[in-house]
Amino acid sequence: MRPGAGHTHCSIGAYEAGTTACVGDCNGGNGQVTSDDLLTLLNVALGNALPPACPHGIPNGADANVVLTLQAVNHAVTGTCGGS
């Protein structure tokens, strides 16, 4: 989708500035939530890992909790990446 979040004009080239990673996409590199991403996010939510273990999959200011984990599972199952 164009333009990027918070922008009124398209960015240069194929890159859109201001886009956000998908909730649950811990590595933030592929735009998909994998089973590895879900396990990492679940460990953060359970307190078995610190939030930096999932730097791209937890929106700024959000807590890794059941609601966020369910959003990530939905993204994994549907193959969609809905951001925060």
What is the per-residue DSSP string for 14-63? T--TT--PPTT-TT-SSSS--HHHHHHHHHHHHTSS-GGGSTTTS-TT--
| Predicted local distance difference test score (pLDDT) of residue 46 | 93
Domain layout of the chain by residue ranges? 20-84
Taking alpha carbons only, the member of 39, 48, 38, 28 closest to residue 76 is 38
pLDDT in tens, 7-46: 555 555 555 455 556 899 998 867 889 999 999 999 999 9
pLDDT average, residue stretch 75-83: 78
pTM for the complete prediction? 0.70
